Chains A and B, each alone.
Chain A
Amino acid sequence: MIWEILARLLLENELLIPPPSSVARSLWKLTMSGQLNKHFAATLIEFAYGFSTACIAGVVIGYVMGIYKRVDEIMEPWIATLYSIPIITVVPLIIIWFGIGMVSKVIVVFKITAVAIILNTAAGIKNLDPVWLDLAKSLRLSGWETTYKIRLPGALPYVITGMRLGVGRALLGVIVAELMASNAGLGYLLRDSSETWDSPKLFVTVFLLAAIGLVSFNLIKRFEQRMAPWRQSAEWSAE
């Protein structure tokens, strides 16, 4: 309410802060024309592909790095390099290599998530309490059983931390990639509305992104509490 009155009375300029009513109208229009659906779906699919493949690859690579010290030493310089480069700056390169289609965005998401999960999984495997491994030995568990009964559950909280870090950054990455070059997705919508000075549409997009961020943030928090309830989840995940 305050926002509406302020925007209507004081500013009288739809460009700077559009009143909620025109934002709502814009949302209605976008939904009805099916545009919103299309962009939303595009972003979601890119994110889902990149994220799911990165989870699998990240856990496998991180596990191998955690078990074999030599592999860890060979991989480390490259993982550290990848980790320290702000992804945004690599996006132009990825677009040159993989085109402006969906593939480049999936790769951006994959890279961000995979690095976060690899680092955390490896740390989880390395920090496993040796007592558990002794237990596995005294129970005469086979190598395979040790892996999925002792090592993986032990590293799970770390893996989930990696996923949590990955979600926020990957979301940013996919939006940036869409913003730079694409013809669909919320990032595209963001760019389109900002370049055509369509403030209501811009605000719709921003609110949607905020909603997506909030939902994914809470989902992963729930997931963390369910999968690793013995670990007190930090209320605020510092990235």
Chain B
Amino acid sequence: MNDRTDKLVSNALKVASILAGLTLWHVLAVYVVNDTTFLVSPMVVVRTAYDMLFVTGELYPHLFASSWIFFYGFALAIVAGVPLGFIMALNPAVRDYVNPWMTTLYSTPRIAFAPILLLWFGIGGGAKVAIVFLGCLFPILINSFYGMRVVNREYVELARSFRLSSWALFIKILLPASVPFILAGIRLSIGRGLTSVAIAEWFGATEGLGYLVFFAGQTLNIPTLFVGVAAFAVLGILGFEIIRRVEIYVTPWRKQSQGG
């Protein structure tokens, strides 16, 4: 079998698998379960999505609300996480001081902080942004730290032999060398950030995709629930792709590693 037929078979199998799965789902929903408060056919989900996007347009406010929370928390996490990671990498005293806190905060299931943040910031936007911030911060912080730590020693020695000032060393050597790591951290934090948006909106919200999903769950509105879940998945994939493109563009010398 040559390469082209192999690829053809492979794609055909994937398409067949998706179609078979959807058919099974449809049959299960319509003929076996037959209860719209339990499971609906994928066709109904698509129709609902179409309605919410183009007819009533009711998906947009939720989409925007969630995007803003995500964007603020995410941007703050980058602004705070990258410099903090650098400082930790360059200054052992700070590292020793921050390290135990970081380990603890990072390994705690982050939903545990949600009620406390809610208590401190109220149920407005502040608490939600804080929850997303906390969710995104650590992958970015840890990767910035790590990226700066593993810079090739030869580069640093080269810089020394050129008598670069420490500022020039930072700008010309350390920063570019750690960019791939920072971007990897940012990519990892997208998924965590979206999960955090959902968590934040579960605790008292009146709009947003998370609110949409949970409200639909409570009112047994299965089609809307599926649409909300799909919206989250699409946002996640989109964000991941964007960062991957940026990675290829910014660090073309690096072979792209598979995420996951």
With A77-B14, A206-B116, A239-B139 known as contacts, the answer to whether A217 contacts B103 (CB < 8 A) is yes
User: B112, B143, B210, B213: which contacts A206 (Cβ < 8 A)?
Assistant: B112
Task: State whether the Cβ of B180 lies closer than 8 Å to any Cβ in chain A.
Answer: no
Contact mask B111-128 → A, CB, 8 Å, 1/0? 111011011100000000
A190 in the interface (beta carbon within 8 A): yes
How many angstroms between the C-alpha atoms of A168 and B195 in the bound complex? 13
- Closest Cβ of chain A to B218, distance in Å, is 7
A138 at the interface (CB under 8 A from B): no
Q: CA A84 – CA B10 in complex, angstroms?
A: 22
Stretch from B73-81, B153-161, B184-192, B246-254 contacting the other chain:
B184-192
Q: How far is the CB of B19 from chain A (nearest CB, A)?
A: 10
Contacts A73-B17, A96-B38, A97-B38 known; A88 to B107 CB distance under 8 Å? no
B window 169-226: CB within 8 A of A? 184-185, 188, 191-192, 194-195, 198-199, 202-203, 209-210, 213-214, 216-218, 220, 222, 225-226
Give the contact-size bracket for chain A: 35 or more
Instruction: List, in ascending order, chain B residues with CB within 8 A of A179's CB.
Output: 111, 202
The answer to whether the Cβ of B168 comes within 8 Å of any Cβ in the partner chain is no
In-complex Cβ contact of B119 among A15, A209, A210 (8 A): A15
Contact B216 A92 (CB under 8 A): yes
B119 lies within 8 A of A16 (CB): yes
Residue A144 lies at the interface, judged by CB distance under 8 Å to chain B: no
B229 at the interface (CB under 8 A from A): yes
A96 pairs with B233, CB closer than 8 A: no
- Report if A171 contacts B (CB, 8 A): yes
Residue of A nearest to B118 (CB): A194
Of all chain B residues, the one with the shortest Cβ separation from A119 is B260
| Closest residue on chain A to residue B197 by CB atoms | A86
A25 touches B (CB below 8 Å):
no
CB of A85 within 8 A of CB of B229, answer: yes
Q: Is the interface of A mostly helix, strand, loop or mixed?
A: helix
B229 lies within 8 A of A93 (CB) = yes
Nearest chain A CB to B16's CB is how many angstroms away? 8
Which residues on A sit within 8 Å (CB–CB) of B118?
Answer: 194
Of all chain B residues, the one with the shortest Cβ separation from A167 is B107
| With known contacts A175-B111, A214-B103, A238-B142, A73–B217 Cβ distance under 8 A | no
CB-CB contacts below 8 Å: A85-134 with B = 85-90, 92-93, 95-97, 119-120, 123
A95 touches B217 (CB 8 A): yes
> Cβ of A83: which chain B residues have Cβ within 8 Å of it?
260
Decide: A238 and B202 in contact? CB cutoff 8 A.
no
A88 to B110, CA, bound (A): 12
- Chain B residue, CB-CB nearest to A94: B217
Contact digits for A191-219, partner B, Cβ 8 Å, 1 yes 0 no: 10110000100110110011011101100
In the complex, chain B residues whose CB is within 8 Å of the CB of A73: 10, 13-14, 17
**Contact at A171–B109, with CB atoms within 8 Å?**
yes
Complex Cα distance, B108 from A190, in Å, reads: 13
**Does A176 count as interface, using CB distance less than 8 angstroms?**
yes
Interface membership of B42, Cβ < 8 A: no
B139:A210 contact, CB within 8 angstroms:
no
Kindly state whether residue B72 has any CB partner on chain A within 8 Å. no
The answer to whether B98 has its CB under 8 Å from any CB of chain A is: no
Chain B CB within 10 Å — which of A15, A90, A203 has the most? A90
CB-CB < 8 A to B110: which residues of A?
A: 172
Q: Find B191's partner among A74, A86, A96 (CB 8 Å cutoff).
A: A86
In the complex formed, the residue of B with least CB distance to A193 is B115
B209 to chain A, nearest CB (A): 8
Give the CA-CA distance A179 to B199 in the complex, in Å.
10
Q: When chains A and B are docked, how far (Å) is the Cα of A190 from the Cα of B192?
A: 21
B27 to chain A, nearest CB (A): 17
- A144 CA / B42 CA spacing, docked (Å): 41
B236 partner, pick from A86, A93, A203, beta carbons under 8 A: A86
List CB contacts (< 8 Å) of A168-197 with chain B: 168, 171-172, 175-176, 179-180, 187, 190-191, 193-194
- Give 7 pairs: A residue, B residue, CB < 8 Å, sorted on A: A74-B17, A75-B17, A84-B237, A93-B229, A172-B195, A213-B109, A238-B142
Which residues does A use to contact B, with CB under 8 Å?
15-16, 69-70, 73-78, 81, 83-90, 92-93, 95-97, 119-120, 123, 168, 171-172, 175-176, 179-180, 187, 190-191, 193-194, 199, 202-203, 205-206, 209-210, 212-214, 216-217, 236, 238-239
